[in-house]
């Protein structure tokens, strides 16, 4: 089974108004709620593509329950740990008349040490883990190397671990040797501490990361596609030219495609092709919407791969 981890999920409220009024009441035209979080996105895309995964994470309060319910109704399997703090809500405010969007993002709840211990024990006790995907920021109150500790727990189960994080969450966990990391260019350059201008800079950075014991580095490069690097082999996927609406969630979709392809026993070229098609298909959907299966399938034969 593929397990995804989202430590700091959010209930997104997308609110549409005609025009924001000062010192007067602005009426809401439409309101929709979404379960948001990077690991959650990975689970949603895996479900959309016909695979199975279980979303793990921390939720609390009524908004946490609603988040869980939204996922259950979307057919995504979940096994969240409930905490005493309230799951955060982000507000995405669209002002229709001026075609403007405002995102108001809240910090998540502080997580207590007993709560994180219970979450960790829950992971250690999983019997059927084949993949552990850890995405996004850590919750407040947990160690910067928590992902590292989860990587160790996954390794004890012979599970494939994939880390998609930035800053200290990434830096302090990479030494625990995840099977794979999925940085974008900015994350990769922060990780190696220098700007990456050329393809050969990227490959040098990947080589450094392999030396730390990471088997696969999947570098995402927006509309330029992806590079998959192993110690002995590099493959580049060119992103298909598509009409882009919003690339939010494209990275998570690329992670989902890669892991799902791998879990289906595909070779690395199949995994990279599915990863690239899923990312591009998500870039074609508006706002935070993720890819549709038909679009991914239509894009698959259009992905060009090249050994570098
Ligand atoms: N405009 C686009 N056209 C085609 N493919 C795209 C486009 N944007 C993204 N993709 C595909 O999706 C992959 C992941 O996107 P990107 O590099 O933006 O990830 P990211 O920066 O991690 O995004 P996020 O974390 O916000 O989801 C890209 O490597 C590419 O294959
Ligand atoms: Mg990303």
| Residue range 167-222, pLDDT digits in tens | 999 999 999 999 999 999 999 999 999 999 999 999 999 999 999 999 999 999 99
Tell me the CA distances in angstroms from 165 to 29, 183, 252, 286, one per residue in order: 36, 7, 11, 24
Q: Looking at the domain assignment, is residue 167 inside a domain?
A: yes
| Residue range 105-150, pLDDT digits in tens | 989 999 999 999 999 999 999 999 999 999 999 999 999 999 999 9
Can you give the residue range of the structural domain that contains 187? Answer: 2-8+37-87+109-307
Please state the pTM of the whole predicted model.
0.94
Measured in Å, residue 162 CA sits from the centre of ligand 2 at 13
| Nearest ligand, measured from the Cα of 251 | 1
* Predicted local confidence at residue 99, as pLDDT: 87
Nearest alpha carbon, ligand 1 atom 14: 251
Measured in Å, residue 21 CA sits from the centre of ligand 2 at 35
- Ligand 1 lining (C-beta closer than 6 Å): 184, 220-223, 225-226, 239, 242, 244, 247-252, 254, 276, 279-280, 283
CATH of the domain at 49: 3.40.1190.20
Give me the number of domains the chain comprises: 1
Q: From CA 236, how far away is CA 219, in angstroms rounded?
A: 9
Q: Looking at the domain assignment, is residue 59 inside a domain?
A: yes
* Predicted local confidence at residue 288, as pLDDT: 85
Q: Looking at the domain assignment, is residue 102 inside a domain?
A: no
Nearest to 280 by CA among 245, 305, 308: 245
Measured in Å, residue 24 CA sits from the centre of ligand 2 at 39
């Amino acid at each position: 089974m593929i397990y995804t981890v989202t430590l700091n999920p959010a209930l997104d409220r997308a609110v549409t108004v005609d025009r924001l009024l000062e010192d007067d009441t602005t009426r809401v035209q439409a309101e929709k709620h979404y379960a948001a979080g990077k690991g959650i996105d990975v689970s949603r895309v895996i479900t959309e593509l016909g695979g199975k995964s279980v979303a793990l994470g921390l939720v609390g309060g009524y908004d946490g329950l609603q988040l869980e319910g939204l996922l259950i109704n979307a057919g995504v399997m979940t096994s969240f740990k409930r905490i005493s703090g309230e799951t955060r809500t982000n507000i995405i405010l669209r002002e229709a008349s001026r075609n403007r969007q405002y995102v108001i993002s809240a910090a998540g709840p502080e997580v207590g040490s007993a709560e994180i211990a219970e979450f960790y024990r829950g992971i250690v006790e999983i019997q059927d883990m084949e993949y552990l995907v850890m995405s996004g920021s850590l919750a407040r109150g947990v160690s910067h190397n928590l992902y590292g500790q989860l990587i160790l727990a996954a390794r004890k189960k012979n599970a494939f671990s994939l880390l998609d994080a930035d800053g200290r969450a990434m830096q302090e966990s990479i030494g625990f040797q995840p099977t794979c990391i999925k940085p974008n260019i900015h994350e990769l350059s922060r990780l190696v501490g220098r700007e990456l201008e050329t393809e050969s800079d990227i490959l040098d950075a990947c080589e450094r990361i392999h030396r730390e014991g990471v088997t696969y580095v999947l570098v995402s490069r927006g509309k330029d596609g992806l590079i998959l690097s192993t110690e002995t082999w590099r493959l580049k996927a060119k992103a298909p030219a598509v009409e882009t609406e919003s690339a939010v969630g494209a990275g998570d979709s690329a992670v989902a495609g890669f892991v799902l392809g791998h879990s289906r026993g595909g070779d690395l070229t199949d995994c990279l092709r599915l990863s690239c098609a899923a990312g591009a298909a998500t870039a074609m959907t508006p706002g935070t919407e993720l890819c549709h299966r038909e679009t991914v399938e239509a894009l698959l034969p259009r992905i060009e791969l090249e050994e570098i």
